[in-house]
Amino acid sequence: MTIQEKQERIIREFKALGDWPERYKYIIKLGQKLDSLDENYKTDDNLVRGCQSQVWLHTELDDDKVIFKADSDAAITKGLVALMVRFYSDETPDDILSHNPDFIKQIGMQEHLSPTRSNGLASMIKQMKIYAMAYKAKLQQATN
């Protein structure tokens, strides 16, 4: 599935849910389904700065694909990071850098997140793109 297809699927899922209380329940459920992050990765180095809750983001490069793993100590935040992991994980650094999560705006999430959660989500996205830039540089060095 391409990153654009992932985006379209997320939009369809949220539009099918209806009101925002139902959508928040879905976000929490996404967080509950997120694979546990190994305790060894819950370090200060993996903390996402700018989040009110604690969010840990760990990455690995598998061939040319970035694999994200994450966790949070707060239910809604964990659901948000699970959504971002689903969107960006198993994509190339170039795809991550060239695709913004437009679904956030299209499903109306921006209007329904508190300012602190919205800032935290922006920090997650920024950190994921920073990892993608680092992996892109690493891949370019490997080919030179």
What string of DSSP letters covers 101-124?
-THHHHTTHHHHS-HHHHHHHHHH
pLDDT band for position 18 (cuts 50, 70, 90): confident
The helix/strand/coil state of 100 is: coil
Residue at 40 is within a domain: yes
Range of the domain at 88: 3-139
Q: Is 30 domain-assigned?
A: yes
User: What is the residue type of 45?
Assistant: D
The verdict on residue 144 lying in a domain is: no
- Give the domain CATH number at 74: 3.90.1010.10
Number of domains in the chain: 1
Q: Which residues are catalytic?
A: 51
Domain presence at residue 61: yes
CA-closest candidate to residue 87, choices 67, 72, 106: 67
In this predicted structure, the answer to whether residue 144 has a pLDDT above a threshold of 90 is no
For residue range 88-115, what is the model confidence (pLDDT) as tens digits?
999 999 999 999 999 999 999 988 998 9
Q: Which two tokens stand for residue 117?
A: 């959660």
Answer yes or no: are the C-beta atoms of 92 and 64 closer than 8 Å: yes
